[in-house]
Structure 1
């Protein structure tokens, strides 16, 4: 339009037409260079921090895992992959894998369905709904240290609140040394873990439920569908992406569980509640075997990475592809 007006008025120079030379349009090249400089300016600080705080510690851990080192002086006793082969015969580490798998299984079978059930209840209209949401979410706002200290008092073997309540209602036979017996410590640990984290998953499910159009449930009710059929055929499929994210966070959290276990039991009794993170801490900082502790940390990282990549590739693929397609359509 500007070129046409300039051509219609004598004496006004129009912009010269773009000519495709051997090197392309120089103005377009300058715009691309400017855009690249802006992107690099925004990304460089984040990449530097990521390299210093993530990639560098991973590299150091891999390096130290090939040495037998007590932390004093520079590492000099190179042993190659001996720390990794040692793990294959370490009953404590193999027990860590079994206990981690048990916590993951219990989380998927008990904790997440319980969180979904509470979220569905609190998504309905009722008096005091906001208070109940806050009440169930409150445990997650407590730190793991406070939660561990609190339940170490509640589950104390003699004068703990749990045993006192059982005695008060005439169930003395169910009293136990909850955190001091190998047969009960893992279930006690999971109970505390479930109490601590189910509110977090409940909030995630509530957010997903509020994104489901109400018209779908109204149409199902008009068609005569029961609440159970509406939940099974409408709510649950539309809540699928939220559930998959919740499962991912639960599994990764169980693999890396440390602080709650350390405060409650320190891995005891007789390693019966240890996790990989606790064993790593025991060897790396308590027994001055930093090389073996670093090897355990590398295995933890690889397990988390492999699970994350496989989960994204085979489970979250539809969700991420849908998000990318939606973003492209909105441009």
Structure 2
């Protein structure tokens, strides 16, 4: 940490100190490899995507059919893209108002270190460990109207065959159910770690003062883990912008393109149709949106949580 006295020192003295304590050496050794990897695997692909987005290109040979902003115009006027953006926003909202409160509730119930709670933590965390594609395939069987669990329940109620994933009104609700089931365990573990770090003497002091269980949660534990909640919400928002692997095995964006997110829209209308220029434009829009959300969130909410 740099103190006020250090800042008043001449630059030559500060440099000599940095050289003797090994900081500059560590930076010179560790920074170049990180910069090289970041340049080759992040900056160059982003730059190429931005360049390809100005071409009508199928991915073969060098791009030559320059179309300017035509790809962006097609995207912004495409009704399916509007649906994809709306679905992505819905996932963000459901993650914030359903997934996170559910994770918080379970964390408050099982955050104490006991053998029984450890078993429940493992059970609730297992869906997050499961691969997204595997989870999608499992739930596609659950929702199957002919042979799955849904078919058995519907048959027992005398409703006949019910095809949830083929119904435009219910397919995306089914997807959001799977997303909540898949990722709430991740947020639960964040809250458990934060709750375990809350000083026990604060909780005991509140109880001595006559605070009830809900009052302890509201006025002691929740304020104490506010930074963890802010970080959890950030992960929920960024994760919602990237949802892909769960949707493909469930609906592949159907029926009638009603369950696309921005990423599945990019995959379907860009990569699978060999319209790489169009897909690159979608990727650029997604990147700009994600960076904007991240910067805004960090400047507004994370600073408040730290303050």
1:55 equivalent to 2:56? Answer no
Summarize the Cα distance change of 1:175–1:130 in structure 2 as closer, same or farther, 3 Å threshold.
farther
Match of 1:307 among 290, 293, 296: 293
Q: Which moved more, 1:243-252 or 1:280-289?
A: 280-289
Q: Deviations over 1:163-213 (max 9, x none)?
A: 313433x3x449631111100011100111111111111111101111111
Distance 1:245 1:117 in 2: 17
Question: Would you say the 8 A contact 1:256–1:300 is kept in 2?
Answer: no
Q: Give the aligned partner of residue 28 of structure 1.
A: 16
Count of aligned pairs: 297
Q: Are the counterparts in 2 of residues 157 and 180 from structure 1 also a CA contact under 8 Å?
A: no
Match of 1:215 in 2: 201
* Pairs within 5 Å for 1:156-305: 156-168=144-156, 170=157, 172-173=158-159, 176-305=162-291
Alpha-carbon shift at residue 71 of structure 1 (Å):
1.2
| Unmatched tracts of structure 1, length 5 or more | 1-22, 323-331
1:236 & 1:29 partners in 2: Cα distance?
Answer: 43
- Alignment-derived partner of residue 125 in structure 2: 137
The residue number in structure 1 matching 2:83 is 95
CA gap of 1:125–1:173, structure 2 versus 1, over 3 A, is: farther
**Aligned-residue CA RMSD (Å):** 2.3
- Residue aligned with 2:165, SS: coil
CA pair 31-128 structure 1, distance change in 2 beyond 3 A: closer
In structure 2, relative to structure 1, the CA distance for the partners of 1:36 and 1:97 (3 Å cut) is same
Is 2:57 aligned against 1:69?
yes
SS in 2 for 1:316: helix
What's the secondary structure of 2:30's corresponding residue?
helix
Q: Which moved more, 1:65-74 or 1:120-129?
A: 120-129
Measured at CA, do residues 128 and 44 of structure 1 come closer, stay the same or move farther in structure 2, by a change above 3 Å?
A: same
Query: Highest Rg: 1 or 2?
Result: 1
Deviations 1:210-254 (A, max 9, x none): 111111111111111111111111111111111111111111111
Give how far 1:278 is off: 0.7
